[in-house]
Amino acid sequence: MELTHGSLFSGIGGFDLGFERTGFTTLWQVEIDDYATKVLEKHWPNVRRYRDITTIDWRTVPVPTVLTGGFPCQDISVAGKGAGITGARSGLWSYFHRAISILRPHYVVVENVSALIFRGMGRVLGDLSEIGYDAEWEVIPAYRVGAPHERMRTFIVAYPQSLGHLRQQAETRIFSQNVQKPYRCGLTETWGRATYRGQSGRVFHCPNGGIPRVAHGLPYWVDGRIRTLGNAVIPQIAEEIAWMIRRVEEAHA
């Protein structure tokens, strides 16, 4: 069984590395930043790259098993000006949505800051619902995979509603915790035309002793390396999600 991966808003390849560690093949990447593209060219020299997500004709792009992407967070983050998911940067979600609607992958993995829960989650889930996708999610910190910092991020895994009777079974759910309301978001359990049955909204709380939120001793945005690391998806978290998806696929192959 060949498992493939398409990468939107690739950055320096956090999703790509995590999924390839579990046996997925990256078919293509989309990244507009020049510095990040140089990193991708170095580590994935044979992978097709597109630069501008707003100009891609998705009808000409190979369909992957999994489509991943961490769309821009600047308008959603509490550190930003609060324009939300319709802002100039975070509004690129609409192009992510368009890619999903045309490609129709088996799975979609979306990443953004934890503030997405109250600054755009309803829009994302509603858009997915309109094109026939159900979803599950978690807010996962970096220390979940052993990193010495907090870095809370929202991860959404979506899949066609036609497969929901399989994906929502307790033994094969991507995020398999008990269903409860999303953490502090005040949203109901229904968005758009679909009910999201598998979400847990669980947040892993910081252990005693404190976890640093920033890279101590380094000035903010010291150069392209720090900037792209700050924007990157942590590969170990991507790898965890990839393994869960792989197990579900193998269980129903």
Domains and CATH numbers, the chain: 4-251 (3.40.50.150)
- pTM value is 0.81
Catalytic hit among 39, 47, 53, 73 = 73
Catalytic (active site) residue 73: yes
HEC assignment per residue over the chain: CCCEEEEECCCCCHHHHHHHCCCCEEEEEECCCHHHHHHHHHHCCCCEEECCHHHCCHHHCCCCCEEEECCCCCCCCCCCCCCHHHCCCHHHHHHHHHHHHHHCCCEEEEEEEHHHHCCCHHHHHHHHHHCCEEEEEEEECHHHHCCCCCCCEEEEEEEEHHHHHHHCCCCCCCCCCCCCCCCCCCCCCEECCEECCCCCCCECCCCCCCCCCCCCCCCCCCCHHHHHHHHCCCHHHHHHHHHHHHHHHHHCC
Per-residue confidence in pLDDT tens, the chain, 253 aa: 799 999 999 999 999 999 999 999 999 999 999 999 999 999 999 999 999 999 999 999 999 999 999 999 988 987 777 788 999 999 999 999 999 999 999 999 999 999 999 899 999 999 999 999 988 888 888 877 777 777 889 999 999 987 665 555 555 566 654 323 333 333 333 333 333 333 343 333 444 444 444 554 555 545 566 667 767 789 999 999 999 899 888 887 7
